[in-house]
C-alpha cells in the first residue's frame, strides 16, 4: 500500500510537471505556429521567387571579402590580361616609392593612394585591358586611344605624374607602329610637349614641339597650331635664358609668321624689336617696332600703339 501510494504520488508529480511544461513551452510554440502560417498561394510565390534567384559562385563571394585591388587583379588574371596586371602593379608600386622619396611634408604625400580610390582603379584597369586587347588584335589606333583616354582622365583628376606617363605611352605606340595615322604621331608629340611645359621641362617641351611642327607639315591646321605652340615656348625660353634672349625671340618671331595669327605675329615683332634695342642694334629694332606700330594703328589698338610709340622714341634718342 505504501508502494502504491508512492507510485501514485510520483505519477501525480510527473503529470503536474508535464502540465507545466506543456503550458509554458509546447502550447505557446504551437499557438505561434498556428497564427503565423502563411496562405498557400503566398508560400508558393515565395518559393518561386527563391528559385529564380541566381546562386552566388565561389568567385562572387570572394569579391565581397577581397580588397578592390585584389578583386580587380583576380579579374584581370582570369581574363588573361597578364601584361595589364603587371603594369597595374608597377604603377601602384611607383606611386608608393615616390611618396616615400618625397617625404611626409610634400603636398603629394597627403594625397590618397590609387588603390584606395575606387573610380580611378576601375578606370585604370578597364583601359589597360582594352589597350592590351587592342594590341592582340593589331588594332593599334584603339590601343593608342585607350592610353590617350587614361592620360586625359588623369590630367583632369590632377594626377599629372600618371597623365604624363600615359602621354608617353601614346608616343611610344605612335612611333612603334608605322601603319598609324601620321596625325596621331604629331598629336602625341604635342601632348608630350605640353606635359613637359606644365612640368617646367622647357627643353623637353621644345624638342616635342619641334617634332610636332615637322610632322604637321602636310596638315594646315596642325601646322598653324604647332607654330603657335613654338612661339609661346620660345618666348618662355627667352625669359628664362638671359644669355640667349635674342636667339629665342628671333625664333619665336619666325614661328609666329607661320601661325596665321596676326596679333601674335605683331606682338612678337614688338618683343623682337625690344630685344634688338637691348643689344644695341637700333636699325633692326626700328624695323620690327615700326611693323608693330603700323599694325596697332591699323587695328585701333591704342595700348599697343602707345607702347610702340614709346619704344620708337627711345630708338630715335
Structure confidence at residue 247 (pLDDT): 94
pLDDT digits (tens, 9 = 90+) for 98-148: 888 878 777 777 788 888 888 999 999 999 999 999 999 999 999 999 999
C-alpha cell recorded at residue 136: 592582340
Contacts of 186 (CB under 8 A, 6+ apart): 211, 212, 215, 216, 219, 222, 226
HSE on the CB side for 47, CA within 13 Å? 7
The number of angstroms, rounded, from the C-alpha of 211 to the middle of its chain's C-alpha atoms is 25
C-alpha cell recorded at residue 48: 518561386
For residues 100 and 43, give the distance between their C-alpha atoms in angstroms, rounded to a whole number. Answer: 61
Its pTM stands at 0.75
Structure confidence at residue 75 (pLDDT): 84
pLDDT digits (tens, 9 = 90+) for 257-294: 999 999 999 999 999 999 999 988 999 999 999 999 99
Contacts of 38 (CB under 8 A, 6+ apart): 46
Taking residues 164-187, report their average pLDDT: 93
The domain ranges of the chain are 67-148
Residue 104 has φ and ψ, to the nearest 5°, of: -70, -20
C-alpha cell recorded at residue 47: 518559393
CA distances from 244 to 158, 276, 309 (A): 33, 12, 26
16 pLDDT more than 50? no
Amino acid at each position: 500500500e505504501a508502494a502504491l501510494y508512492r507510485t501514485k504520488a510520483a505519477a501525480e508529480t510527473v503529470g503536474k510537471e508535464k502540465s507545466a511544461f506543456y503550458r509554458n513551452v509546447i502550447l505557446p510554440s504551437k499557438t505561434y505556429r498556428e497564427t503565423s502560417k502563411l496562405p498557400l498561394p503566398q508560400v508558393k510565390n515565395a518559393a518561386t521567387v527563391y528559385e529564380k534567384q541566381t546562386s552566388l559562385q565561389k568567385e562572387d563571394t570572394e569579391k565581397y571579402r577581397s580588397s578592390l585591388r585584389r578583386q580587380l587583379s583576380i579579374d584581370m588574371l582570369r581574363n588573361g590580361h597578364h601584361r595589364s596586371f603587371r603594369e597595374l602593379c608597377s604603377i601602384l608600386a611607383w606611386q608608393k616609392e615616390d611618396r616615400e622619396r618625397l617625404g611626409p611634408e610634400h603636398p603629394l604625400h597627403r594625397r590618397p593612394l590609387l588603390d584606395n580610390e575606387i573610380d580611378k582603379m576601375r578606370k585604370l584597369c578597364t583601359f589597360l585591358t582594352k589597350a592590351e586587347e587592342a594590341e592582340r588584335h593589331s588594332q593599334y589606333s584603339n590601343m593608342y586611344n585607350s592610353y590617350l583616354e587614361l592620360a586625359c582622365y588623369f590630367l583632369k583628376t590632377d594626377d599629372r605624374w600618371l597623365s604624363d606617363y600615359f602621354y608617353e605611352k601614346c608616343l611610344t605606340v605612335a612611333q612603334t607602329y608605322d601603319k598609324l595615322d601620321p596625325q596621331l604621331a604629331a598629336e602625341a608629340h604635342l601632348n608630350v610637349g605640353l606635359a613637359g611645359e606644365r612640368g617646367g621641362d622647357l627643353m623637353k617641351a621644345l624638342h616635342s614641339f619641334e617634332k610636332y611642327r615637322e610632322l604637321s607639315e602636310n596638315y594646315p591646321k596642325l601646322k598653324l597650331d604647332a607654330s603657335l605652340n613654338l612661339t609661346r615656348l620660345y618666348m618662355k625660353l627667352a625669359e628664362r635664358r638671359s644669355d640667349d634672349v635674342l636667339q629665342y625671340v628671333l625664333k619665336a618671331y619666325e614661328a609666329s609668321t607661320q601661325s596665321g595669327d596676326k596679333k601674335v605675329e605683331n606682338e612678337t615683332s614688338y618683343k623682337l624689336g625690344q630685344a634688338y634695342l637691348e643689344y644695341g642694334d637700333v636699325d633692326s629694332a626700328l624695323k620690327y617696332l615700326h611693323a608693330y606700330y603700323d599694325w596697332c594703328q591699323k587695328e585701333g589698338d591704342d595700348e599697343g600703339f602707345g607702347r610702340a610709340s614709346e619704344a620708337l622714341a627711345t630708338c630715335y634718342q
